[in-house]
Amino acid sequence: MPRPPRTSLDIVRAAAEVWEGDQEVGFGPRLLAQASLPYRNPGKDKRVWGRRNGDLLLTISPGMTINDRGEEESIGFPYGTMPRLMMTLLATEAVRTQSPEITFGSLTEFMAAMGLTATGGKTGSLTRMREQGHRLFNANISVEYKGDANRKVGAKLSVASAYNLWCGAEPENGQGALFSSMVRLSPEFFDEVTRHPVPLDLNAIKALGGSALRLDVYTWLTYRMFTVSRATTVPWDSLMVQFGSTADITDRRRRHQFRNDFMKALKEVVAVYPQANVEVTDSGVKLLPGLPHVAPSPGFRSLAVGTQVS
């Protein structure tokens, strides 16, 4: 069965564990700090999904396949928490090993590293992990910068150039899977995550798991604590566009709902990341110079910053 959603009390308990324990340093793709993946399934009939953040435009199109009837069929969009967790763990391993080829044992081990419990069955977490991995590694991801009318600037940042996910049953003797799984990162994605990694506390990522919005807010906030040099207010409309809402920003009811959802997620993020120097105002979220959640090594700030966005 899917893991039940975490309550505020669960977050407080998890926050205490993060405070009391040693940091487990990981790295996230800068892309996840700048724009969000879908929160819900956009549907198989949709060809392109996009998210805008200032001058940056992220577009995702699903991979295609041929079904058993010989018909063209969409593999589907990656969405929810699992693709975000996968990208974070893959980025962490890429920075750690400086290799684009990431090898791991069973999917159960892969999930345990992300703080997830592996469950079987048609709707179990292992099935969903395989499905979301298949979607993520086949998706076409592109980024464009729209700030200069005289230039066209963009990049393809699809995650994998090859993958081999062992989906067979695991032995009951506890010795792990018969075959290892492998993901070979695309040259573009590997270059991006190793040149501009965003340092994260993996214990915080695990504590905030179960909510894609919480994961996005945490990644964005710790990234911005790297980059902000003076008080900066990010307007609610900009946040609504950046953090995945497909609602019309002129719809007052939807704006109110997004604001409530974002403030709830932000409160839970700050519970595990109290160093964040942030204030909620009527006009937006005010960011002030503060400490990133993971203290950077000398020279690391210049790596993580890159292109400045909201």
Structure confidence at residue 290 (pLDDT):
86
Dist. CA 46–CA 134, nearest whole Å: 17
Dist. CA 84–CA 217, nearest whole Å: 12
How many helices (DSSP H) and strands (DSSP E) are in the chain? 11, 14
Structure confidence at residue 308 (pLDDT):
42
Task: Answer yes or no: pTM beyond 0.75.
Answer: yes
Structure confidence at residue 251 (pLDDT):
82
223-to-6, 92, 125, 129 alpha-carbon distances in Å: 24, 15, 29, 27
Three-state SS string over 279-294 comes to EECCCEEEECCCCCCC
Structure confidence at residue 296 (pLDDT):
63
Q: Which residue bears the tokens 């044992």?
A: 105
Structure confidence at residue 310 (pLDDT):
45
The pLDDT tens digits along the chain (310 residues) read 344 455 554 545 555 455 455 678 999 999 889 998 999 999 988 999 999 888 999 999 999 999 999 999 999 999 999 999 999 999 999 999 999 999 987 778 888 888 788 888 888 888 898 899 999 999 999 999 887 778 888 989 999 999 988 765 554 544 444 567 899 999 999 999 999 999 999 999 988 988 999 999 999 999 999 888 999 999 999 999 898 666 667 788 888 999 999 999 999 999 999 999 999 999 999 999 988 888 765 444 444 444 444 4
In sequence order, which residues have a C-beta less than 8 Å from that of residue 248 and are 6 or more positions away? 254
